Chains A and B, each alone.
Chain A
């Protein structure tokens, strides 16, 4: 047995060797130090990110676990997956059955039914809106209003004409342009306005079909929505908060826009651009003068002036013209004459760093109230359309109650990727019917003589059979096309007015959902509860898939895995390089020490002693460098934890960071992983040179001449 002193002297020799061979130690030490720092920092950041992201996902949409049909063809991807939101995840025939099972499982706080789909909403363009108002005015025989609208339409026609005239020189389709100009002439003719009293509908339809398409400010927005039990959703997703309007009252059908989606897609284009410019100047400390991109944005915005002028009523337009003239006396028309409203608006929107704040304020104070700031306002009833599974276009009306946010994720598009709707309306839109509605339909169908369709075929027939293709549903008939060929006018009415209907809790529970979010009491026991839940469903004879939030969130959830993978690969490569460098350095150092090692061997040191010396050296150096690196990494992470890492405008980052900034922290595990991995790397990299050293024969001691 070797004495303690034996080990002590080997240890002392090793430590002294480290400090004697300075260059070697510096190279190897720095590599180890850097490696450890990297591992500590990297894993700490990842852990923090995973933690933040888990909070983002679990508290915004996913819950801790998601349940969906075991018969699903695709995997559930809450935040969008490869199928762009049209994954076939099967369906849960009766949510109530699911709920009953889940509630028995320990640690389950709540289970919330969901149905996710893509739909489109449309808001007509300005001309459409004026035409609509005109229709009401004609019906009410409000001549003053009609005159006002005629003036507005005439101004619009002027604007369009000047645009077309400019276009005439460059367009290829001269015929179409000529037809458009002719139509504009007709709109401004007295004859047209006289015809309004003869056949108002024909005249208004002329405006809607011939004039409206000329200006391209229509709105078709595609959106993702989650049909859910809104009460339960609000209760169980703590980050949920109403921003505009109000929550959908219990038992009401209704729609809530994600605030960011509403601001980015439904708000008036000019207001949106102005907001963005204002935000970039104030929050990102950019200046219009210096930032070329921002300058381009200002240019683009100023060319959108017609989006304002078209929306102004003639009297508002007049007032605004004189106000803007006073505000910007230097602005003249090209020929030096008094500038028109359009010239003025364009100049007004040509903001710079000096006048941005003033104009921003003026815009919201004096212009915004006179235009449609949002195409769809809180309180409006809008038509929402979606293709059913079988490819038919289906539409329902729904009332917009307000907008919502997930706290901390206000700026994240991903968090705002889904809007919310009550699940009953979702079922209507998705082509899923409650039992009562199915019965109603059945009855009506019998009445209209469709009795030969048996019950099994009922749904196929209603929602489009397999033989009918997607193109069979013309998009422009914004109706309820799955009812085509059958006189179901009653149901059509029924569905169009459905947004007014109430429902009770039972209707919510007793019906179809696509998936369900499970919120846990104690998220730390996720794996355990997941298994328990899976077992419970298996026992109950309802084949369900239970997945954790990470899996359920689709690409986003996998993102962290990808980052982790990238980090590990990077660390692996760095360690591999370090390994090679350490190995080479040590081999060179071994060569230099051939005589010393040979001498020790000649004196009677066994190979194991030589090996021990080498390993001691590496371990001591590894520990010194590793501790330094770990401390460095920990300090760095602590510093980051103080100042926070800004997510900037990077949407994914906001989501991953769980907010606009991430404040990372490190744990003992990170330090341990860092130290252990560097020790392993240094030991592995020493094995070869150490083995080489043990092979040095004692004879070399005799040959040494210096």
Chain B
């Protein structure tokens, strides 16, 4: 089976006044289905740029980005949007929930965009997903009534509710304290295991990195190292879950 993400000699340049910033300078990367990969690297190394390309919210200057076999450079905005809708889930650093919608509606939203499910099926899906992230009691609350950790868990539910093949998270723990952050990573790991969804997330927190099964290091827009840890579970997972429970009673 082909890899879910295949990147070949990708270059991404940003114009900056008269200059051109080369954020990625020839990246080759292949990610298989079910992997739990982190992209690590110092600030400005090109993590976000890479994730944007994988997430189809941007296209490379040159090179090939293939998602589930489709090359993104040939696609128009409409098709890219459809691809994102059906194959990719996003978890953002700042959670990015729709503030005027409640928890349920936020999670339901991608399903509505997709269409195709009955109201009942949708409700079951949403409730199931919310239950998995442990927020059933907050089902009708609005984002501003939730803590940061809770919000990111809503975001995870929202990213996963459509059962995407690929979930991208750009520094999902950066806006959370370390204990909550680890709990979020643990939840993602759990989802990765249960739903066999491919996860790619970026971070520069070494503690968070440890939880990944594969760590891709980039420096200055180039892949510096690519290692598989085969690290599957961590004792921190248990303590992290408890800590999160304590942090948000």
B90 near A: Cβ within 8 Å?
yes
With A599-B92, A704-B92 given, name 18 new contacts (CB 8 A). A2-B112, A5-B108, A5-B119, A9-B108, A9-B112, A12-B100, A16-B100, A20-B99, A20-B100, A596-B98, A602-B55, A602-B84, A603-B85, A603-B90, A605-B85, A698-B57, A699-B57, A702-B48
With A5-B112, A12-B105 known as contacts, the answer to whether A595 contacts B81 (CB < 8 A) is no
CA distance A339 to B51 in the complex (A): 113
Knowing A595-B96, A699-B52, A701-B96 are in contact, say whether A6-B57 is a contact too (CB < 8 A).
no
With both beta carbons as reference points, the residue of chain B lying nearest to A10 in the complex is identified as B112
Q: Give Cα A600 to B92, complex, Å.
A: 12
Q: How far is the CB of A593 from chain B (nearest CB, A)?
A: 10
B115 at the A/B interface (Cβ < 8 Å)? yes
**B residues near A607, Cβ cutoff 8 Å:** 77-78, 81
Q: Select from chain B the residue with minimum beta-carbon distance to A605.
A: B113
Bound-state CA distance A607–B96 (Å) is 18
Within 8 A of A (CB), among B75-103: 77-78, 81-82, 84-86, 88, 90, 92-94, 96, 98-101
Question: Which A residues are in CB contact (< 8 Å) with B84?
Answer: 602-604, 698
- CB of A601 within 8 A of CB of B81, answer yes
Is there a chain B Cβ closer than 8 Å to A188's Cβ? no
- By beta carbon, the residue of chain A nearest B48 is A702
Q: Would you give the shortest CB distance from B123 to chain A, in whole angstroms?
A: 10
A191 on the B face (CB < 8 A): no
Q: In the bound complex, do residue B105 and residue A9 qualify as a contact, i.e. CB atoms below 8 Å apart? A: yes
| A501 adjacent to chain B (CB < 8 Å) | no
Contacts of B81 in A (CB 8 A): 601, 604-607, 698
Complex interface: chain B residues within 8 A of A609 (CB): 113
Q: Chain B: residues with CB nearer than 8 A to chain A?
A: 48, 51-52, 55, 57-58, 77-78, 81-82, 84-86, 88, 90, 92-94, 96, 98-101, 105, 108-110, 112-115, 119, 122, 158, 170, 175
- Would you list 28 pairs from A and B whose C-beta atoms are within 8 A, ordered by A residue? A9-B112, A13-B98, A16-B101, A595-B96, A599-B92, A599-B96, A600-B109, A602-B57, A603-B90, A603-B113, A604-B84, A604-B85, A604-B86, A604-B88, A604-B110, A604-B113, A604-B114, A605-B85, A606-B81, A607-B78, A609-B113, A701-B90, A704-B93, A704-B94, A704-B96, A705-B93, A705-B94, A706-B94
Nearest CB in chain B to that of A699: its residue: B57
Contacts of B51 in A (CB 8 A): 702
| A interface size (C-beta, 8 A) | 32
A13 to B158, CA, bound (A): 17
Q: Name which residue of chain B comes closest to A601, CB basis.
A: B81
In the bound complex, CA of A697 to CA of B81 (Å): 11
Question: How far, in angstroms, from A1 to B100 measured CA to CA in the complex?
Answer: 25
Look across to chain B and name the residue whose beta carbon is closest to the beta carbon of A704: B94
Tell me the smallest distance from the CB of A531 to a CB of chain B, in Å: 55
Q: Which residue of B lies closest to A698 (CB)?
A: B57
Q: Contact at B82–A604, with CB atoms within 8 Å?
A: yes
Interface string of A586-612 (1 = CB under 8 A from B): 000000000110011111111101000
Query: Are B57 and A603 in touch, CB under 8 angstroms?
Result: no
Q: Is A162 located at the chain interface by the 8 A CB criterion?
A: no
A104 in the interface, Cβ–Cβ < 8 Å?
A: no
Report chain B residues within 8 Å CB of A702.
Answer: 48, 51-52, 55, 57, 92-93, 170
Q: Does A17 count as interface, using CB distance less than 8 angstroms?
A: yes
Q: Is A216 an interface residue (CB 8 A)?
A: no
Contact with B along A671-704 (1 / 0, CB 8 A): 0000000000000000000000000011101111
| Across-interface contacts of B175 in A (CB, < 8 A) | 706
Per-position 1/0 for A162-187, Cβ under 8 A of B: 00000000000000000000000000
Give B157 Cβ to nearest chain A Cβ, in Å. Answer: 13
Which among A606, A697, A702 has the greatest number of chain B C-beta atoms within 10 A?
A702
**Most B-side CB within 10 Å, residue of A603, A604, A607:** A604
Query: Chain A: residues with CB nearer than 8 A to chain B?
Result: 1-3, 5-6, 9, 12-13, 16-17, 20, 595-596, 599-607, 609, 697-699, 701-706
Q: Which of A16, A599, A605 has the most CB of B within 10 A?
A: A599
- Whole-angstrom distance between the alpha carbons of A12 and B104 in the complex? 13
Closest CB in chain B relative to A590 CB, distance in Å: 15
> In the complex, what residue of chain B is closest to A2 when comparing beta carbons?
B115
For the complex formed, measure the closest distance between the CB of B184 and the CB atoms of chain A, giving whole angstroms: 17
Closest 9 CB pairs of A and B: A604-B85, A16-B100, A698-B57, A599-B96, A6-B112, A604-B84, A704-B94, A699-B57, A706-B94
A6 touches B115 (CB 8 A): yes
* Nearest A-chain residue to B85, judged by Cβ: A604
Q: How far is the CB of A600 from chain B (nearest CB, A)?
A: 7
Contacts A9-B105, A604-B84, A701-B92 given; indicate if A599 touches B98 (C-beta within 8 A).
yes
Closest to A17 in B: B100
- Bound CA–CA A627/B104 (angstroms): 32
The CA of A606 and the CA of B96, in the complex, are separated in Å by: 17
Which residues of B have CB within 8 Å of A699? 52, 57-58
Tell me if A13 and B101 are in contact (CB < 8 A). Answer: yes
Nearest chain-A residue to B58 (Cβ)?
A699
* A604 CB to nearest B CB, Å: 2
From B90, B96, B115, name the one whose CB has the most chain A CB atoms within 10 angstroms: B96
CA distance A5 to B104 in the complex (A): 13
Residues of A within 8 A of B99 (CB): 20, 596
A603 to B82, CA, bound (A): 9
Do residues A12 and B101 form an inter-chain contact, with CB atoms below 8 A?
yes
- Smallest beta-carbon distance A474→chain B, Å: 90
Distance in Å: Cβ of B177 to nearest Cβ of chain A: 16
CB-nearest residue of chain A relative to B86? Answer: A604
A231 to chain B, nearest CB (A): 76
Also in contact, A606 and B105, with CB within 8 A (given A20-B99, A704-B92):
no
**Chain A residues near B122 (CB, 8 Å)?**
5
Q: How far apart are A693's CB and chain B's nearest CB, in angstroms?
A: 14
Check A600 against B100 for contact (C-beta < 8 Å). no
Bound complex: CA A6 to CA B105 (Å): 11
B55, B78, B109, B158 interface centre (most CB from chain A within 10 Å): B109
Report the minimum CB–CB distance from B51 to chain A (whole Å).
7
In the complex, which residues of chain A have a beta carbon less than 8 angstroms from the beta carbon of B115? 1-3, 6
Q: Which residues of A contact B100 (CB under 8 A)?
A: 12-13, 16-17, 20
How many angstroms from the CA of A698 to the CA of B88 in the assembled complex? 13
Measured between C-beta atoms, what is the minimum distance from B167 to chain A in Å? 12
